[in-house]
Chain A
């Protein structure tokens, strides 16, 4: 069996094993369906309600995408500001870290008053949660230029803008992409939490309503759909990473 085939089959087999274990335990112990349904029922519900789940998934996907873009842009700008302006670093760096400690529910009423109940509060929540890894990794990445190459650029009379675009920024890409992959998964969480603050559509909203209606299999089916959406996004980010970093290989390969 080729290595490639093994790499594809390994997680699938593990997953199948875990689901089988789950199914067995639920049936043998007799766990009630309104607490934890067996995976067989979840999968059946997933396919039976696929159109319905997908209509909600599209809404959440839009929130995740905009949130990720907004958060990444914000994170990158912040990283550049921190690296280039020491005053900003001293003032802002501790605040950024503190910002991650604030539970979203605390600022949710504020967001609703400012932004209403459309798409934007959820986009902002997703952006707030996912800008952090981009900002932190961006700072590390932008600073990771070797001092010798920096000296070389300076001795050749490169302007600060040229140093940024031709040295610092390309050099920061591996770190940035690491941060971006984390941000992609966090954006999924952020959009879902944002929907719990106030929504009329979306997978997070669907989870709330299905839970309240004791349709627990549907809750898990929504979670399954959310997981697939997250994987899709992560996959897209990885493809972009591979295209951009063609000349650098990640350490695992």
Chain B
């Protein structure tokens, strides 16, 4: 009886030690949870972060411009944000540094319905275009129009926050800023004949569309944790690519609301877009994007490329 009790207490203590967690890392997403974030959610579900002694918490922002502010203020540790938003934040003096990329391709472009008579970008003259993410979207779509020879003054740009697809399908808007791995699929599923103009085809330099940024002090304080985080994330990306069906299941276990056809198709469309090895260290990409934003008046003064990102934590 006594031995039994000893074992019981030992067992309880052992189980308690499993509950004791590792180093906390708060990661703020760039937007509502969506398939772009699959590597993070899958890694949490698989216990990959925990295996490295990391307790990763995923936070959803109230507003897409919050992540960089929260990271700079050290309220959260790692922020996900588009490269363009990050460059704007750096230009405004926020203390941040990019440590890796989640998605190293372009996601964006303009989506229009063929039924509204739009077959090429030139047809957008005199039309209304909706967007949800300032400041990057108005600049991007303005560039696309410019590249096709249309003046921005000929087009009405409306900030519609999140109601883009519904407005497009109902005809209230003629075109919307869209992600090639989400809204395009949404339109297709609604049976609409849509046409997508990818941003890189219209004078916009390539970009890392979701990067990871931190306050520079955090790098010094938690170097190993951040390195392990990036290793786990990189392995998660590789794992997802090898096992899309199982990992989609993991993803929807973590986010049951996203268990539908749209997200399944979006998930598949996103697989080739994740950054191999979470790499973000092509100086040419940073140089070209900074020059582009500076010319468009979005940056007050250019920052030396070496000061924008670090490759020291990459796996």
- On A, residues with C-beta under 8 Å from B are 32-35, 108-109, 112-113, 116-117, 196-200, 205, 208-209, 211-215
Do A113 and B92 touch (CB < 8 A)?
Answer: no
**23 pairs from A and B in contact (CB 8 Å cutoff):** A32-B94, A34-B72, A34-B89, A34-B94, A109-B163, A112-B166, A113-B167, A117-B156, A117-B172, A197-B163, A198-B159, A199-B159, A200-B157, A200-B159, A208-B159, A211-B63, A212-B63, A213-B134, A213-B135, A213-B298, A214-B65, A214-B89, A215-B92
Shortest Cβ distance from residue A191 to the other chain B in the assembled complex, whole angstroms: 15
Could you give, for residues 99-139 of chain B, a 1 whenever the CB lies within 8 Å of some chain A CB and a 0 otherwise?
A: 00000000000000000000000000000101001110000
Do B158 and A109 touch (CB < 8 A)?
Answer: no
- Give residues of chain B (164-207) contacting chain A, Cβ–Cβ below 8 Å: 166-167, 170, 172-173
Nearest residue, chain B, Cβ from A31: B73
Find A212's partner among B65, B93, B128, B167 (CB 8 Å cutoff): B65
Q: Residue B296 at the A interface, CB < 8 A?
A: no
Do A211 and B163 touch (CB < 8 A)?
Answer: no
Do B160 and A214 touch (CB < 8 A)?
Answer: no
List of A residues within 8 angstroms of B315 by Cβ: none
- On B, residues with C-beta under 8 Å from A are 63-65, 68-69, 72-73, 88-89, 92-94, 128, 130, 133-135, 156-161, 163, 166-167, 170, 172-173, 298
Nearest residue, chain B, Cβ from A115: B172
Find A209's partner among B92, B156, B159 (CB 8 Å cutoff): B159
Nearest residue, chain B, Cβ from A198: B160
Find B73's partner among A35, A196, A198, A214 (CB 8 Å cutoff): A35
List of A residues within 8 angstroms of B156 by Cβ: 117, 200
The 3 closest A-B CB pairs, nearest first, are A212-B134, A198-B160, A214-B92
List of A residues within 8 angstroms of B69 by Cβ: 34-35, 214
New A-B pairs, 12, CB < 8 Å, besides A109-B163, A112-B160: A34-B92, A35-B69, A35-B73, A109-B166, A112-B163, A112-B166, A113-B166, A117-B158, A199-B158, A209-B134, A209-B135, A214-B88
List of A residues within 8 angstroms of B157 by Cβ: 200
Shortest Cβ distance from residue B168 to the other chain A in the assembled complex, whole angstroms: 11
Complex Cα gap A115–B159 (Å)? 16
Nearest residue, chain A, Cβ from B162: A105
Do A212 and B135 touch (CB < 8 A)?
Answer: yes
Do A197 and B161 touch (CB < 8 A)?
Answer: yes
Complex Cα gap A113–B165 (Å)? 12
Complex Cα gap A109–B170 (Å)? 10
Nearest residue, chain A, Cβ from B95: A32
Find B128's partner among A32, A34, A117, A209 (CB 8 Å cutoff): A117
Complex Cα gap A198–B93 (Å)? 30
Shortest Cβ distance from residue A208 to the other chain B in the assembled complex, whole angstroms: 6
Do A200 and B73 touch (CB < 8 A)?
Answer: no
List of B residues within 8 angstroms of A113 by Cβ: 166-167, 170, 172
List of B residues within 8 angstroms of A108 by Cβ: 163
